[in-house]
Amino acid sequence: MDKDTSFTGSIPETYERAMVPLLFIPYAIDMARRAAQRRPQRVLEIAAGTGAVTRHLLQELPDAHIVATDLNEAMLDQARQAVASPRVEWRQADAQKLPFPDASFDAVLCQFGVMFFPDKVLAFSEARRVLKPGGLYCFNVWDGISHNDFSATINHALAKVFPEDPPRFLPRMPFGYHDVDVIRGELARGGFSGAVTHEVVTASSHGESARVTALALCQGSPLRADIEARDPARLQEATDAAAAALAAKFGEGPIEGKMQAIVFTCEA
């Protein structure tokens, strides 16, 4: 597990407390509602993190059994504290080597995890393998960073803090996989030869303040490791610079910015 996919240390707690309400709730609600239209009884969630989607699946699918997985055991530990239900089974699992039999789920869901998979075709083929015929694979990815206000602002601010070697985690990983033609091609190579649709979904991100928003992104994601790789003593300086840039653009109090993602739905 490299630093781009390692959600360890203090990251899971900061992620759950700050990142989930900042970025993930609108899209978690959207994904759970899309899944509910199919009324699946067995659902596999990949890269479940701290359970942002899981808790909404419990509301939208009152009779379903949910297996929620993540590569990072530390994130699952945090998720178990946030979401407690006998209908949820938490499992550590690699999306590229799922420990489940063929055709064992009615739906496979993945919120903002695909971008982190080293071999996306292999991960797609594993999702296809564990789906029952006619099952649903639904996942979303962030659109380009220029369509996501807070992250774009922070990325620009960090480039000024480290002008010789700017942290590249944000444009490289979470915002680096949004070419629809590339994604459709890799889905086809992964075995999704049936109906594949995609939809651009825009939402609003609401931050408690510029400082809390900067803390969420700079210290509640692997961006932290990218900053510390340049100079671990400058993490707070980088966070302060990000907060100042957000405050200058969006204000000192509660802030609001645009988010944009692309949602894919695929038939097995």
At 251 the pLDDT is 96
Assess whether pLDDT exceeds 90 at residue 12: no
Per-residue confidence at 3, pLDDT binned at 50, 70, 90?
Answer: low
pLDDT surpasses 80 at 1 = no
List the Cα angle 82/154/237 in 5-degree steps.
90
Report, as an integer, the average pLDDT of 136-150: 98
Residue 162 has pLDDT above 90, yes or no: yes
Other CB atoms within a 10 A radius of the CB of residue 108 amount to 29
Asked if 191 and 133 count as a contact pair (C-beta separation under 8 A), the reply is no
Are 28 and 56 spatial neighbours (Cβ–Cβ below 8 Å)?
yes
CATH of domain 11-267: 3.40.50.150
- The yes-or-no verdict on residue 33 having pLDDT over 60 is yes
**Percent of the chain predicted with pLDDT > 90:** 89
At 5, is the pLDDT very low, low, confident or very high (cuts 50, 70, 90)? low
Q: Mean pLDDT throughout 257-265?
A: 98
Which phi and psi (to 5°) does residue 208 adopt?
Answer: -60, -35
Q: Are 203 and 259 in contact (CB under 8 A)?
A: yes
DSSP annotation of 255 reads E
Cα–Cα dist 37/57, whole Å:
12
In this structure, are strands 88-92 and 65-70 parallel, antiparallel, or unpaired? parallel
Token readout for 222 is 């692997």
- Neighbour-count burial for 13-41, b at 16+ CB within 10 Å, e otherwise: ebbbbbbbbbbbbbbbbbbbebbbeeebe
Note the pLDDT of residue 142: 98
Q: Encode pLDDT of 200-243 as tens digits.
A: 999 999 999 999 999 999 998 889 999 999 999 999 999 999 99
- pTM for this entry: 0.94
Average pLDDT, the chain: 95
Q: Quick one: pLDDT at residue 252?
A: 86
What pLDDT is recorded for position 8? 64
What is the dihedral sign for C-alpha 198, 140, 203, 172? negative
Predicted local confidence at residue 236, as pLDDT: 97
Tell me whether residue 141 is exposed, middle or buried, using C-beta atoms within 10 angstroms of its C-beta: 0 to 12, 13 to 18, 19 or more. buried
With a cut of 60, say whether residue 42 has pLDDT above it: yes
Q: Any long-range contacts for 165-168 (C-beta under 8 Å, 24+ apart)? A: 165/230, 167/223, 167/226, 167/227, 167/229, 167/230, 167/238, 168/226
pLDDT digits (tens, 9 = 90+) for 48-100: 999 999 999 999 999 999 999 999 999 999 999 989 899 999 999 999 999 99
Domain boundary assignment for the chain: 11-267
Q: What is the pLDDT of residues 164-212, one digit of tens each?
A: 999 999 999 999 999 999 999 999 999 998 899 999 999 999 999 999 9
